[in-house]
Amino acid sequence: MSQSELLNLRLAPTVAGVDEAGRGPLAGSVYAAAVILHPEKPIVGLKDSKKLSAKRREVLAQEIKRNAVAWSVAWAGVEEIDSINILQATLLAMQRAVERLVVTPTEVLVDGNQRPQLSVPVQTIIKGDALVPAISAASILAKCARDAEAYQLAQQYPGFGFERHKGYGTAEHMRQLHLLGATPAHRRSFKPVALAPLWKAVS
């Protein structure tokens, strides 16, 4: 895609950016967001959510929600991930996010190289979260939603450290997974989880 084509897509008022968060963790849902930015309400500081602090992401997320033409967040749960695999669950979450927009986009730009099944044209863009503001905005909303779930899991399953590792397979998480067992929030189709004992709720 040429620079001029990319610029035109960035400025189009009915083009939605889509990105996901949570493909890699061993627990929790996978999230996706879709955003149509307002061409007359630019948001300063949009970039790949992984390059922003948690505090800055939250500030930008509120600004996106206030100023975007439309936005939505959707997810696919652990049972869906285990049933259809993480890639298909991610694409399903993306599809749901776009379908929940209150404004139907004329085109959808997706970060990466995998496209969800949609009734509107879809274009994939490698590193789109760094190149297209609408995708950056979607990246931020998806990441904030994913982190919010991680904090909920931390309260539901104390001792796992979800508030720190967000479900990723860190040394701490792996240690607690084998010590405490795999909870209902863990993805049984992921090998480290499948090899762990089952969690037993303490009454």
- Which residues lie across from 198 on neighbouring strands? 182
Helix (H), strand (E) counts: the chain: 9, 5
Rounded to an integer, the average pLDDT of 178-203 is 91
Only one residue has tokens 């970039």, namely 47
**The whole model's pTM is what?**
0.91
Is the confidence at residue 136, as pLDDT, over 70? yes
Is the confidence at residue 2, as pLDDT, over 70? no
Q: What pLDDT sits at residue 200?
A: 82
Is the confidence at residue 11, as pLDDT, over 90? no
User: Helix (H, G, I), strand (E, B), or coil: what is residue 33?
Assistant: strand
Which band of pLDDT confidence, cut at 50, 70 and 90, is reported for residue 48? Answer: confident
Per-residue burial over 186-199, b if 16 or more Cβ lie within 10 Å, else e, is bbbebeebeebeeb
62 φ, ψ (degrees, to nearest 5): -65, -40
pLDDT tens-place string over residues 161-183? 999 999 999 999 999 999 999 99
134 φ, ψ (degrees, to nearest 5): -65, -35
* Percentage, residues of the chain above pLDDT 90: 88
Is the confidence at residue 120, as pLDDT, over 90? yes
Q: What pLDDT sits at residue 3?
A: 53
CB-side neighbour CA atoms (13 Å) of 20: 28
| CATH H-level, domain 3-155: superfamily | Ribonuclease H-like superfamily/Ribonuclease H (3.30.420.10)
